[in-house]
Structure 1
Amino acid sequence: MSDAPLSLVVFDVDGTLVDSQGDILAAMAAAFEAVGQPLPQRAELLGIVGLSLDVAMARLVPALEAVDHERMVGAYKAAYMDLRATAGVAQSSPLYPGALAVLQLLQDRDDVLLGIATGKSKRGLDKLIEGHGLEGMFQTLQCADFHPSKPHPSMLLAALSETGIAAERAVMVGDTSFDMDMAHAAGIAGVGVGWGYHDRQRLTRAGQVIDSFDALPAALDLIWG
């Protein structure tokens, strides 16, 4: 048994644990087609990944009415589910290289708990966890159904409350500025990842930025001393 105090590592999903950009872009195309709007550039679409869908659509096409944003969200969800059902989770949202090994390594530590904070719906998150065989790995699961969109700290505050971990013993791992701003707002450390959907330059509130999953354990040890 370790004498180290219990710590919590919370992961973002899209762009951090899994590369789902193909399905995201295809589902966005369906969403924009549903309201007869031209599709933005790839970089603009990926730039809003991590936000809850209603917030993302309003940011992408602010001139539309709320009812049109709702139509876009519905079309996006329907297209995303169809793509996932056709290809399967492992193919449509593959884990990034090294992700599973590091998750298993951290899960095996008796001083670490794992969690998720994602803009996905609960249904989408449950399907992803099942599709990758990650059931039972995460002690706290926070998603868009029950919280304001990132960067509001609600997801992380709920994760701290559920696990009983103090903010100074928690770390948020994510690929976007929304993740790092959320961590800052919750008073916990942020580790940015360089392989996701936001450029490194946007991760200004990250205490560290790593470029491969195998660098994460050392980054965590540096934070926790």
Structure 2
Amino acid sequence: MKLIIFDIDGTLVDSQNCIVEAQRRAFAALGLPAPPTREKALSVVGLSLVEAFDALTEGRGPSKELADAYKAAWMQLRGESRIEDRCPVYPGVEEFLRQMSRRDDCRLGVATGKSRAGVDRLFDAYGWRDMFATVQTADDAPSKPAPDMFNRALAETSMTARDACMVGDTVFDMRMARSAGAHAIGVGWGYHPHEKLTKAGAVTIADNLDALRVQLDEFMQCVTT
């Protein structure tokens, strides 16, 4: 039995437009200078909000106030569009997850920088609640790349790190998994480039779901001692 833990933003759903717009509104709400570029905005995806704004402002803040303004902006965006429109599932991911959840050689989990409430709304919208054996959020443990979320997932499922794999699109996902002593697979359709994922510890990178399926099959066939 193996544990496969997925990131959400940039891995399962494409929320980049909403993330960038919420950041823009947060900076504007506090009367701060120009918001970060799209590239820089997406570079912090995966971190919890305060850590993300620490990075975006290079430690000059006000990170807590920006995080609160970001949450308010996200609530505004919720009222302006359906979750399916602002956070669409990547093509093929829905069926891929359902196929994986029906296998008897693995269990699925989530580790995300989203809040618990944000994950709940997403799962309710897409009907994903029953597919994951463990769900770790920014409310549960220190931000990635600390291994805490991954270790909590292992504890909740009674699994060991050598039998677990992280699937994500950011360097924070890769570093978290490697810090926990687990396997790490990067996805090429997300927000961080291949070379950074590899440098951060990705054992391999899947450019599409077919490749990811093959790589996960290979991981699950590995015999650990």
TM-score bracket for the superposition, by shorter chain length: over 0.9
3-state SS, counterpart of residue 203 of structure 1:
helix
1:37 Cα deviation from its structure 2 partner? 2.4
Q: Does 1:20 align with 2:15?
A: yes
Q: Does 1:86 align with 2:80?
A: yes
- The residue type paired with residue 33 of structure 1 is A
Aligned to 1:74: 68
Matches of 2:174 and 2:59, distance apart in 1: 28
Q: Which runs of 5+ in 1 are unaligned?
A: 1-5
> Residue 98 of structure 1 contacts residue 214 of structure 1 at CA under 8 Å; is this kept in 2?
no
Q: Which runs of 5+ in 2 are unaligned?
A: none
1:99 Cα deviation from its structure 2 partner? 0.6
Q: Does 1:47 align with 2:33?
A: no
1:214 to 206, 210, 221: 210
Q: Does 1:198 align with 2:162?
A: no
Matches of 2:114 and 2:79, distance apart in 1: 16
TM-score (norm 1): 0.94
1:34 Cα deviation from its structure 2 partner? 2.3
CA distance 1:51–1:63, change in 2 (3 Å): closer
1:62 Cα deviation from its structure 2 partner? 2.9
RMSD (Å) for aligned C-alpha atoms: 1.1
- The residue type paired with residue 8 of structure 1 is L
1:224 to 191, 195, 220: 220
> Residue 50 of structure 1 contacts residue 176 of structure 1 at CA under 8 Å; is this kept in 2?
yes
Q: Does 1:95 align with 2:92?
A: no
Mean CA deviation greater in 145-154 or 33-42:
33-42
Q: Alignment length, in residue pairs?
A: 218
> Residue 97 of structure 1 contacts residue 213 of structure 1 at CA under 8 Å; is this kept in 2?
no
Aligned to 2:153: 159
Matches of 1:137 and 1:33, distance apart in 2: 38
Q: Cα deviations across residues 167-210 of structure 1 (Å, max 9, x unaligned)?
A: 11111000001100100001110010000000111102111100
Aligned to 2:33: 37
1:8 to 3, 17, 27: 3
Matches of 2:43 and 2:58, distance apart in 1: 15
Aligned to 1:124: 118
Identity of aligned residues (%): 45
Q: Cα deviations across residues 45-67 of structure 1 (Å, max 9, x unaligned)?
A: 100110110001011113534xx
> Residue 89 of structure 1 contacts residue 132 of structure 1 at CA under 8 Å; is this kept in 2?
no
> Residue 112 of structure 2 contacts residue 136 of structure 2 at CA under 8 Å; is this kept in 1?
yes
Matches of 2:136 and 2:59, distance apart in 1: 30
3-state SS, counterpart of residue 8 of structure 1:
strand
Aligned to 1:188: 182
- The residue type paired with residue 11 of structure 1 is F
